Amino acid sequence: MSADDTLVIHEIYASIQGESTFAGLPCTFVRTTGCNLRCVWCDTPQAFYGGTRMRRDEVLARALETGTDLVELTGGEPLLQPATIPLLRNLCDAGRTVLLETSGEADVSSVDPRVHKIMDLKAPGSGESARNRWSNLHHLTSRDEVKVVLASRADYEWARSILEEKSVTSVTPKVLFSTVFGRLETKDVVAWVLEDKLPVRVQLQMHKFIWSPDARGV
Ligand code: SF4
């Protein structure tokens, strides 16, 4: 077994998709271990370390056995592990609708074009804004989604100016604004979006309302 064909996995479980335009749908989550960023509001720090090394074919079998049409690779940052690229391809070949949550720092250029990439743009309040890999925007299409997590009005203003400066909505119409749970009121973001007539989707992280803000593996 070559180390290149294994992945360190934090957890694999079925739940419903809590975010994105797929919110509410049954989904199998494959959460990889490890991230090279440290967003100050990260809600999955438990995935920074630990995990179990598994062969790619084992991860594939576990992801398929739950039977959901939707499968999401998330983390941590899945693209830090080279076997993520062939795993995404395997899941597409198996007929699944495949989502990839990625930080916006990792290079997405090798991701199978059938995958729906949900890519963050890190606002200043994350502490990781300097890590945005802007060239990634050239590798997105209208099937992909761009997500900005907002911790403050300043983050909102940053996002508004970036959308214009980088013509993000001409890359994809699926631009998602979320708030850091407990830090910024979603109703305030709704008011700002209406005032500025921004063509974005304000979203809630459904899983945090269904279970609890710090629930794991749901
Ligand atoms: S990129 Fe994602 S997993 Fe990594 S620190 Fe930021 S929020 Fe957490």
Decide: 104 in ligand 1 pocket, CB within 6 A: no
Q: Is residue 47 part of a domain?
A: yes
pLDDT at position 208 is 77
Alpha-carbon distance values, 204 to 4, 20, 23, 177, 201 (Å): 36, 9, 9, 9, 10
Q: What is the pTM of this model?
A: 0.95
Q: What domain range includes position 15?
A: 3-210
Q: What is the pLDDT of residues 80-121, one digit of tens each?
A: 999 999 999 999 999 999 999 999 999 999 999 999 999 999
Measuring from atom 8 of ligand 1, which residue has the nearest CA? 42
Q: What is the pLDDT of residues 169-187, one digit of tens each?
A: 999 999 999 999 889 999 9
- E-assigned strand segments in the chain: 6-16, 26-32, 52-55, 70-74, 97-102, 116-120, 145-150, 175-179, 201-202
Decide: 125 in ligand 1 pocket, CB within 6 A: no
Q: Is residue 194 part of a domain?
A: yes
- Ligand 1 atom closest to the Cα of residue 47 is 3
Measuring from atom 7 of ligand 1, which residue has the nearest CA? 42
| Total number of domains constituting the chain | 1
Q: Is residue 75 part of a domain?
A: yes
For residue 171, give the CATH number of its domain. 3.20.20.70
Decide: 105 in ligand 1 pocket, CB within 6 A: no
